[in-house]
Amino acid sequence: MKVTSVLKRDYIIGDLEATDKEGAIKEILTVFPPEVLPVESPIAFKVLMEREMLGSTGIGDGVAIPHGTIGGLEEILLACGRSKKGIFFSSCDGKPVYLIFLMLAPENYAGQHLKLLAKISKMLRDRSFRSSLIEAATVDEMYDVIAEKDDQF
């Protein structure tokens, strides 16, 4: 599955205003229109925070990938937020997070959900890719950087 098949340009926030994990997750959830995310955002937020309680999705190197499954979704939803200042996310390396890829999946999509998580994680291990995303001037540039890397996998 291609990352760009689920990540739309409209689902990217180039400069998050949030200063903490909870605020960032809430802010990123706002990119999904109600017809796409058919549950109230507090439910989606609760699912994501319950996952965070199991262990931070801050994977290190300035990256977090909060994710969860929700009944009622028809497809995987993926959004991206970038913080220019950095957000404390209880990451495994203790450093701030600058890039957040938030994923919500239907309850019956476990296999595809996990494959996409693995792909995103693998893409984000590339230091030059992370740097290009952080340094991109616009949301369109961020999307293009993601699309180019996506085509390499």
CATH (residue range 3-146):
3.40.930.10
pLDDT digits (tens, 9 = 90+) for 5-22: 999 999 999 999 999 999
Residue 105: pLDDT band (50, 70, 90) is very high
Whether 58 contacts 90, CB under 8 Å: yes
Of the candidates 3, 13, 48, 67, the residue annotated as catalytic is 67
Percent of the chain's residues with pLDDT above 70: 97
Domain range annotation of the chain: 3-146
The answer to whether residue 67 is catalytic is yes
pTM equals: 0.94
- The long-range contacts involving 86-90, CB below 8 angstroms and separated by at least 24 positions, are 86/62, 87/16, 87/18, 87/19, 87/20, 87/21, 87/24, 88/20, 88/21, 89/21, 89/24, 89/56, 89/57, 89/58, 89/64, 90/21, 90/52, 90/56, 90/58
